[in-house]
Chains A and B, each alone.
Chain A
Amino acid sequence: MSLLQTRALTRHFSGLKAVETVDFDLPEGEVRALIGPNGAGKTTFVSLLCGRIPPTSGQVIFDGRDISALPAHRRINLGMAYTFQITSVFANLPVAENVALAARRREATSAGVARAVADALERVGLGDRGDQNAGDLSYGHQRLLEIAMGLAQAPRLLILDEPTQGLADAEIAAFKALVRELASSTTILLIEHNMSVVMETADRVSVLNFGQILAEGTPAEIRANPAVQAAYLGTA
């Protein structure tokens, strides 16, 4: 069954149709990549999903429940996690406290929080950085910290907005392995520009263009789709 659905989801910014009547279905357990040219409305779309911005019209349904009217924090507490496209960590707080803030929503004891923090940092390869201030990390490490904060929430749906942007090749390889490992326990929606990440991690791919779903299918189908190629080359 679908963990997440949208029905005719629409958002206009003073005349600009950023997202236009999108019907979207994401089955539980799937890794879905969301791709599209710059300005296609990808970030706006996921911001509508997790309630950062209100829709002009349409519905968001999570786990069979209409959450269109819920504020962002309530949606997060239903089991969504969102990592920011532009790194948005608590720069003046230690790395461990950043992750602990994410973990405390579900861990009742301080021992449980400490375990969840250590685990999440270990999985993204920041295990030895807990004491540093987050703002002192390199850009790539801040992106990994974002992902660790997402992991620590143990979400049912993990929304990653361009997680590999600015990562080194070795870090990207580690990220791919991490997504494959998570796929067994979590549904993942991934906005991604790096096609090798999309091809190697996604079960299915949705293509957004001018605020509308242009195509949907397996990575191989999408790669062969002429409409998608045209959209990316700008000749559509």
Chain B
Amino acid sequence: MSDGARSLALHGALLALLLAGAFVLPAYHHGVLARVMVLSVYAAGYNIMFGYTGLLSLGHALFFAAGMYGMGLAVQHGGVTPALGLLAGLGCGLAVAFALGLLALRTAGVAFMIVTLMFAQAGYLTVLYFGPYTRGDEGFVLQGAQRVLFGFDLSDAGVRYIAALILFAAVLVGVLALVRSRFGRVLVAIRENEERARMLGYDTFAHKLGAVVISGGIAALAGAAYGLLFGYVGATFASVQYSIFPLLWVLLGGAGTVIGPFLGTLFMFYLIDLSSGYTSAYMLIAGVVLVALTLFAPQGLAGELRRRIWRGLP
């Protein structure tokens, strides 16, 4: 089988399994999986920058929150429809990503990590500062008509699952197309050797900026969708923790693979879910996994698959 056909088979099978899950899964796992799908879209956005372009951001919560608050504030205070809210969230994320990219891409390596961390922290504090609108840590709830998208009521668990699956599938297909495109291949070239890519005539700054905008846009879309699907907008989603999560998920699942972000999110979600049944200190698991990954499996789950079995895994 050619790489293209195998890739179609693998990702098609994943989508088919998830679709089947809509009908057979018990209610609890049904709900968990809907969350995992939306959050793995967030991780997929993160992966564009970290996995494919080699830009390690510690501030992606800024984009996730830009999408979530762009949507939430537009729906709550602007009174727009949820569909327009989603667009508003996406627009906010794209604009924030563009501005951050212009500034942060002037730095590289450790400085880039700290700059993104600082901007995200400023974003988090901004959410707290405008407490009268955002209601700070407490957040606000979207309900009733605010969650009816194109006539479908997202507070219904079945509808929510399908909506999450549609978003997930769209982003999965989009990312597959992106990494096979010329643009995507240049991103990989930049990750591998930026100076060489530049000396082949590629405008590496423009490509990196494009990667930041796409990555931030996908993260914002995930944030907006998360707020709409689960009816809650809160400052936690802008905090440092939510910048670390996608890094963790992508590292675990396999950076620079299309399926990795989903695998990592799924695995981590159930691990934390399991452990929070025993202790309130469930973030301990996240810490241990992070350290273990850097020490023993920097390639992640799908990365190991690529290394051992299938070199052409996209």
Contacts and interface: CB of A to CB of B under 8 A. Distances in A.
A–B contact via C-beta, under 8 angstroms: yes
Given A88-B195, A91-B192, A97 B201 contact: no
A236 B199 CA distance: 36
Interface string B184-210: 011011001101111111111000000
Contacts of B195: 52, 88
Interface string B160-188: 00000000000000000000001001101
Contact of B196 (A77, A84, A153): A84
Most B-side CB within 10 Å, residue of A71, A72, A89, A149: A72
A127 B259 CA distance: 33
A74 B201 CA distance: 6
13 contacts: A50-B199, A71-B203, A73-B198, A73-B199, A73-B203, A76-B201, A84-B196, A88-B195, A90-B193, A101-B185, A101-B189, A149-B200, A153-B200
B87 to A, nearest CB: 33
Contacts of B202: 73, 101, 105
Interface residues of A, number: 24
Contact of B201 (A73, A84, A92, A93): A73
Contact of B204 (A73, A91, A102): A73
B198 A72 contact: yes
A90 B199 contact: no
A88 B196 contact: yes
B198 A88 contact: no
Contacts of B196: 84, 88-90
Interface of A: 50, 52, 71-74, 76-77, 82, 84, 88-93, 97, 100-102, 104-105, 149, 153
Contact of B200 (A76, A92, A93): A76
Given A88-B193, A90-B192, A101-B189, A52 B200 contact: no
Contact of B199 (A76, A92, A100, A104): A76
A72 to B, nearest CB: 6
Nearest to B189: A101
Looking at B188, B189, B201, B204, which has the most chain A CB atoms within 10 Å of its CB? B201
Contacts of B189: 90, 93, 101
Leading 6 A-B pairs by shortest Cβ distance: A76-B201, A90-B192, A77-B201, A88-B196, A105-B201, A73-B203
Contacts of A89: 193, 196
B192 A102 contact: no
Given A73-B203, A101-B186, A93 B198 contact: no
A52, A82, A104: which has the most chain B beta carbons within 10 Å? Answer: A104
A89 B195 CA distance: 10
Nearest to B207: A73
A93 B199 contact: no
B192 A153 contact: no
Contacts of A105: 200-202
